[in-house]
Structure 1
Amino acid sequence: MTRFWKFSNIPQWEKYVLMVALVWTFSIGGSYSWNVYWEKHAEVFAAQFQARSLFSKDLVYRRWNARSGGIYVPVTPLTQPNPYLKGIPEREVTSPSGRVLTLMNPAYMVRQVHEIEKQGQGIRSHLTAINPLRPQNAPDNWEKAALEAFKQGAKEISSESYIEGKKFLRLMRPLVMEEACLNCHTRQGLHKGDTYGGISISVPFAPFAEITSTYLRRVAAGHFLLWGTGMAGILFGACRFRRSESRRIKAEEDLKHSLELSGIVLEATHDAICIINVSDYTVQRANRAFLRKIDCTDEQVFGQTCHAMTHSLCQPCGTPEAKCPIQMTLTTGESHTVEHLHSGKQGELLYEEVTAYPILDELGKITRILHVARDITERKTAEESLRQSQEKYRAIFENTGAATIIVEEDGTISMANKEFEQLSGYYREELEGKRSWKEFVAEENREKESAKQGLPVEVNACPDSYEFRFTGADDSVRDVVVRWGGIPGTGKRVASFLDITEQKRIEEALRSSESLLALAQKISHLGSWDWDIESNAFRWSDEMYRIWGVNRELFPVSYEAVFAMVHPEDREGLNRAINEALYAHKLFNMDFRLILADGRVRTVAGQGEVVFNEGGKPIRMVGTTQDITWRKETEDALRKSEEKFAKAFHASPDWIVITRAGDGKYIEVNEAFLEITGYSRDEVIGKTSTELGIWFDYRDRMLMLKLLNTNDLVRNLEVSFRIKSGELRTMLWSAEVIEYGEEACLIAVARDVTEQRYLEKELRKSQSQLFMKHEELKNLFLQMENIRQEWEQTLDFITDMFILVDNMGRIKRFNRAVENYTSVSHREIVGRDWKEFLASHGLQQNVLQPGVEIFDEAAGKWLVLTFRRYDDGAVSGDVGGVVTINDVTAIKTAAIQRGSIMDQSH
């Protein structure tokens, strides 16, 4: 009961803060747990994917070997004749050079590949069967269980196991007897289509676990930082509210003083202010500025309508052109500001900015309106003149016919016309006030242009004109002629640019067509060559030297030198292709690799044709070589990208779907979609979202399709979906049109933000409540500050010294009498120990004997020091003190005189 009583006495706002903190903590914890759950699933999925890929690779090797009838390889200590192929004819053959070759069947080949794979990557693969020919291929206990499952129709068996103390994913798939394998297995009584064994793949979990651990550490750090930030914000708001609540009661006592001060401010302002009764629009009160504006007295205004006083109208104002702010405030309950034409003393029209503020009664009903009018006639006249001037200036500037800008003294572009937007490739908003014109000067002209900028520009002098290279937004370089002119009375200059790029290009084309050919070869990375076979002399284009990465002056081009730079693995094929071109009259066409002097590997495509003499002898060979390294890298990158996409697609915690653009049917969905919606894959594939009834509001779907048609993509569209259970989920929907399987498809990603939106709603509600309390306390604090200033001013008029100290004895505040007595400035007193400070100024005895009258010879006064403690716990929890030093000279002198008179009388 005691605990319940204590909790029930906790203020309501503290309970609310505690609830928000708990909700925030559970939300962050739930989010982190969700990430851990899916990352562990992704780890197993990645290992399974790798194991299936390895099985597919081994199966392809076996089929290739089996369909070829086996392959012959040299006999080595590691590759001995297979004793289980003794009955096979031509198990060993001898090449014309006398080299012994042995027949390698699919099982033998795969077994050797598995050994190499185990040494390199730690992956363990095992070819096994129910009744293997080779005893070493016998299955272990796990493999036996898998083989038995294959007999029952299973297509794949996988599980997590420990091998030699390390965690592995073991996966096994069956091997089905094919016709090409019967040659070696007929004696076992097997037939085509029988399941006779399998290949087990053991993939170590260590690499995947390391990636998962790194990712989860980052996720944990991010969640902890997010939780800490949220908790800090909640605690900060709670602490501020707690401190302010303790001062609220005292601040309310000073509200009356604040109202009196507001009346003074109302009369002192130059704005015309009046208070209007909303029932009949009559003026109840007006300040002096309002009365002066209409040249009336308070008695003449009281009881008159506001529209009669300001507009000389019999009815309330309010037209589409000039809306009445009072009516707008009564409609919305909020303050409104509009511009009106009001009548002056002589009936003249004045532009005024009118604001109406609602005044509420105790029930929150608007009973009066505070009407504030500010004369803006001069400002409106100036704005209209400036607008007309700017329109004329802008029309001339925009229609000069050339790319034109106005440049400040520091080179910043202050204005740019449409032609300059086209020349630079930037929009006006990206240029004006944000970029210097020097940024568009090409690098080779920067130093020259900087020197030009340093020259003084005379206003009446002829504008400077010169050529330079202009760099645009897309890094395109243009040749331009610039002409400069000064703007009188300012430090600004006008520059106009004439694009002469096309003229330069034509001149360059006429100057040298051969250089254009070299440039074309460089751009396409295509070099040409000519080989005189009889003299072994080569003639290369410039691009050939760049492709080979050698210097024209230092590299002697010859067949031997060129062949030496070819990758060792490609030399035999290149030599064969050249010989076939020279002696078999075939076209030379081959891709091969080069090893450059710096060790880089470059892939090139060579093409050539041989010229023969009348006797059929090759005398010359001409051709081209193109650098296709980028193409090879692109193909590899594409393959890796497809692998990453597949992993990301299925491991993503957000749902991802792919539908055909033509009929909207699902062709692929990930596991997150199935888990969130509750559907199975068979229920979804081949169906449309309309058939499943996923879209809760058909208007969301129509909006999504409209955005797709307009922008070809949709980003973070918030929609509501109905899952299989009938529950509604709020999702952020993003979609884009892609090509998938050689047809147009739509890929869509949706993130579940249902819980997040609920928390945001609760947080906004909390913030609005805290903001209202904060505004209320801010007004009270302002009133307290006025009281504090009045208190300090009062103390400064007192001749006795007052010192306020904190719980550590440090001086916090004091009156002006302390400064006058010690002749020390304010900043040198604050923060010092009060006893040490007074002792340093001859008041040591007063500090040691508080309450005793002590004569100060330096000042010629009798002084009494008093120290009183006070508890400031309502504000900061500190116990401080007040030191007073009273001047009792007059009292002491009178007492001494009375004592002397008494002595004389006796």
Structure 2
Amino acid sequence: MSRDVLISETNRRQLQQIIAGLSDGVILMEPDRRIRWANEAALAMHGVDRVEALGKDADDYAGRFSLRYRNNHPLTPEQYPLNRVAAGESFSDVLVEARAAGDDERTWVHSVRSLVLTDRDGEPESLVLIMSDITDWANAEQRFEKTFNANPAPAVICRLSDLRYIKVNPGFLEMTGYSRDQVIGASTYELDILEQAERKDLAIQRLREVATIPQMQAELRLPDGGSKQVIVAGQPLQLNDEDCMLFSFVDMELRRKAELALRESEERFAKAFRLTPVPILVCSADEQRVIDVNQAFLDALAYGDDEVIGKTVAQLDFIADPASRARLMTALEKAGRVDRVEVQVRKKDAELLECAVSADTVNIHDRPCYLLVLMDITERKRTELELVAAIEEVMKDASWFSRTLIEKLANVKKINAPQLPGVAFTDLTARERDVLGLICEGLADKEIAARLKLAPNTVRNHVATVYSKLDVHSRSEAIVWARERGLFSAGWGSRGQR
């Protein structure tokens, strides 16, 4: 063995001893692509304990291990780092995922660089691959990537060294309409996410200090030339040992549209409230304190605005009967609404109005309130009373009218009558039932007395008792009461047939 060969072998052994204990993996390969040696770190990064398990050469290695890039694209054999360095290529920081062929359980992520050692004549003597195990870092980055992309809040990450965007999540793309290519690599000058920010100077200062940027309103320019109101905030972080800023956004467009719709709705309500000729009062549900009234209310009750606003319904005392007011508000509290409840309303000058009150629950500025609408029915009530009085006069002797006419007149009379009383036909005595039946036949008191062989005064007493029990006030009402219950449908006197 020549001296040069001896020196070369000695140097190689010394080199191997030096690198054997390194944490970085090292693989030595001959210029003819044969794998000569690997340290323990390189073997561990492939899950083997002998250099022979790596393969005898670069082609054998490609058959034993499957390599792909981080984007899941597989490497062809020519792209394997061993073949690239064998071709004399110099490279650094190539990231590849490595796994043993047929083993999908274990995967390593290597950061690989090449080194070509030459002899005195400059010819390649040893080909070296130096690799770092960055599996833990890659897994952490992958978890961050998944979390970042799955985050429903729109977000971008800006690298602070050159103020360029290096990551964008689907939420930002969906919110703005930008494509990924339009964002990744763009600078903050091209896509200014802090444009028209309410505290832009503070945001820029925090960027320079690599400090948290508090929430602030801003306006994002969109690719179609429009803009969008957003809230933006920034959080510093490090990616690949570089200072970055994570910007997250809240889309204010939906909120802005909702606020605009609410404002328009409130404006429409306010106009309708003011211009409606029917008196309307709005009070709080908890204290029943008057919040607002329209002009029709002030005109109808002869109040001034300052005499009404701020007072409770009880203090204002415009419902004449306190018991009626209490029943109205109790029903409103229980059911949330009431419909056409008749009450007497007192004007400021003490004049009384007959009103039908309808009320409902509304929310004003997230506060439950009652809206009371007063319909003046004074004239209608007066007309109805006059009509009822006329009908009563006409119907004093029901025996001269046909059954159909009696029913129609009685029903007209009952416009304002209460609901059917709870009394039943069986609540009448046998004699009272006989009297009611003869009334329904159209007989007068004298005729009933003759038919039942009773004194006229006794018949009149029975008729009065029947009226009292049935809560009616005339023969026609008694006939209608029995008719509504299907009583005495067959029995009508000859005069009742006219």
Do both share a fold (TM > 0.5)? no
TM-score bucket (shorter structure):
0.3 to 0.5
Flag the structure with more relative contact order, 1 or 2, with Cα contacts below 8 A and sequence separation at least 6: 2
- Computing the radius of gyration from Cα coordinates, the structure with the larger value is 2
Q: How does the TM-score come out when normalised to structure 2? A: 0.41
TM-score (norm 1): 0.24
